[in-house]
Amino acid sequence: MEKRAVLIVLDSVGVGELPDAADYGDVGSHTLGHIAEAISDFDMPNMRALGLGNIEGIPQISPVDAPSAHYGRMAEKAHGKDTATGHWEFVGIIPDEPFRTFPDGFTDDIIQAFIEKTGVPGVLGNRAASGTVIIEELGQEHIKTGKPIVYTSADPVFQIAAHEDVVPLETLYKWCEIAYDIVIPRGQSRVIARPFVGEFPNFKRTANRKDFTFPPPSETVLDRLQAAGIRTTGIGKIGNIYAHQGLSDELKSTSNDHGVELTIACIGDRKGLIFTNLVDFDALYGHRRNPRGYADALMAFDRQLPSIIEALDEGDLLIITADHGNDPTYPGTDHTREYVPLLIVEKGRTEPGRPLGTRASFADIGATLGAYFGVDWEVGEVIKLG
């Protein structure tokens, strides 16, 4: 009988600082806990019923007597707190060295190499920034001068924004290919084309975004599943994160709500692994330090959770986790080095879930998926269910 597992990543929903948080300047961070403290009407009854409040280190959320899911938390073994590092560890890749970020902007050698190799008259920006904000700030100057807007974020990414009426898409993509050869050897994980249209103050990013991603350096559990004939579906930015490797299908999402809709639709028409990233928590509310918006997004997901579980067949797995933290009450706009939650639903199980403790690595998810689908996989420790 074909099996199905659904893995949902609540992007950046951390549950408390890791022991090495001081190395990252993140002492005291607690994304979920601080949101619960800051927002008086915050409540996630459906996640609580699964066992969210039973997870160690979340005193802000009340536990339940008989959680319906297995519950625990995971520590990140790899060094870093970015999207790629977390997602790579899920599927069995634990780099020895972290990707490099440039919170103060890219160094002169990188910018000069980019200017020389592309022939652009210079660049605008060159700092860590919100994409929508920096386009609003520098879009008019870009149109006037033709200089591309270059910026980064908390992730190890080199982003290039350009107006589609000023820079043809083919040119923008070529610039990204040139930038890729410059920055990937210097520790970046992605180059992203960020085209936009419109007039000030109504600039709008378009769907012509394109990611140039450093591929996983070795085989992943996704590759192993696919080779075994198991269908693997990525929803949201999953395809970009893995450089489109190990995935049978990729579906782009426009929001958390759309990502959930696509996930439920896929549960209805396919087996195998359905792997979803819900990015709004991180992109719209964590980086922008908006606890209210973050809380509303979490409660919206909580309201959708019963529909996800209802769509599953008996014997299916639902795994809910996160890839890092991004505490919206913490100083700065960076990710935070935190534990992540782990909730595993076995559809049809009537006994209460059991505690999973603190897992030593995110790679335990990949090991568990491999065992569930009957595929040999050596990285991580299989989580014992049942």
Together in a domain, 165 and 128: yes
Q: Is the peptide bond before 201 cis (omega within 30 degrees of 0)?
A: yes
Beta-strand ranges (E) seen in 243-351 are 249-251, 272-278, 317-321, 340-346
pLDDT in tens, 168-178: 999 999 999 99
Q: For position 29, what pLDDT does the model report?
A: 98
Contacts for 180 with CB less than 8 Å, ≥ 6 apart: 191, 212
CA-nearest of 107, 100, 160, 173 to 134 is 160
Bridge partners, 140 (sequence order): none
pLDDT in tens, 102-148: 989 999 999 999 999 999 999 999 999 988 899 999 999 999 999 99
Together in a domain, 226 and 84: yes
- If one counts the domains in the chain, the total is 2
Together in a domain, 226 and 206: no
* 192 residue type, one letter: I
Together in a domain, 323 and 365: yes
H, E, C per residue of 30-80: CHHHHHHHHCCCCCCHHHHHHCHHHCCCCCCCCCCCCCCCEEEEECCCCCC
Query: Which of residues 213, 242, 263 is at a domain's end?
Result: 213
**Whether the predicted pLDDT of 22 surpasses 80:** yes
To which H or E segment does residue 9 belong? strand 4-10
User: What does the alpha-carbon distance between residue 253 and residue 47 come to, in Å, rounded to a whole number?
Assistant: 23
Q: For position 118, what pLDDT does the model report?
A: 98
Query: Which of residues 213, 247, 273 is at a domain's end?
Result: 213
CA-nearest of 92, 70, 96, 93 to 367 is 92
**Residue 311 burial by Cβ neighbours in a 10 Å radius (0-12, 13-18, 19+):** middle
User: What does the alpha-carbon distance between residue 382 and residue 377 come to, in Å, rounded to a whole number?
Assistant: 9
> Mean pLDDT throughout 226-241?
97
User: What does the alpha-carbon distance between residue 210 and residue 257 come to, in Å, rounded to a whole number?
Assistant: 22
pLDDT in tens, 262-319: 999 999 999 999 999 999 999 899 998 999 999 999 999 999 999 999 999 999 999 9
**Whether the predicted pLDDT of 369 surpasses 90:** yes
Is 122 domain-assigned? yes
- Give Cα 50 distance to the centre of its chain: 22
Together in a domain, 75 and 119: no
Together in a domain, 163 and 196: yes
Which residue numbers belong to the known binding site for Mn(2+)? 11, 282, 287, 323-324, 335
Together in a domain, 223 and 154: no
Is 379 domain-assigned? no
Q: For position 130, what pLDDT does the model report?
A: 86
* Residues 76 and 352 sit within 8 Å (Cβ to Cβ): no
**Whether the predicted pLDDT of 96 surpasses 90:** no
Which residue numbers belong to the known binding site? 11, 282, 287, 323-324, 335
pLDDT category at 386 given cuts 50, 70, 90 is confident
Is 101 domain-assigned? no
Together in a domain, 270 and 143: no
* Residues 184 and 140 sit within 8 Å (Cβ to Cβ): no
Is 383 domain-assigned? no
* C-alpha atoms less than 13 angstroms from C-alpha of 326 in its C-beta half-sphere: 29
* Residues 382 and 366 sit within 8 Å (Cβ to Cβ): no
Tokens describing residue 52: 């969210």
CA-nearest of 169, 122, 115, 127 to 146 is 122
**Whether the predicted pLDDT of 47 surpasses 80:** yes
Together in a domain, 71 and 193: no
> Mean pLDDT throughout 67-96?
96
Is 384 domain-assigned? no
Q: Is the dihedral of CA 345, 350, 352, 357 positive or negative?
A: negative
Is 361 domain-assigned? yes
User: What does the alpha-carbon distance between residue 54 and residue 255 come to, in Å, rounded to a whole number?
Assistant: 29
> Mean pLDDT throughout 43-56?
98
Residue 157: φ, ψ to 5°: -130, 145
Q: For position 94, what pLDDT does the model report?
A: 96
Helix 291-311 to helix 256-269 angle (10° resolution) is 10
* C-alpha atoms less than 13 angstroms from C-alpha of 318 in its C-beta half-sphere: 25
User: What does the alpha-carbon distance between residue 311 and residue 324 come to, in Å, rounded to a whole number?
Assistant: 28
Together in a domain, 36 and 113: no
Query: Which of residues 195, 213, 231 is at a domain's end?
Result: 213
User: Residue 131 sits in which domain range?
Assistant: 108-213
The enclosing domain of 177 has a CATH number of 3.30.70.1250
Is 203 domain-assigned? yes
Together in a domain, 281 and 325: yes
CA dihedral 224, 225, 228, 231 (to 10 degrees): -150
Residue 115: φ, ψ to 5°: -65, -45
Is 386 domain-assigned? no
| DSSP symbols for 176-197 | HHHHHHHHGGGT--EEEEEEEE
Together in a domain, 261 and 343: yes
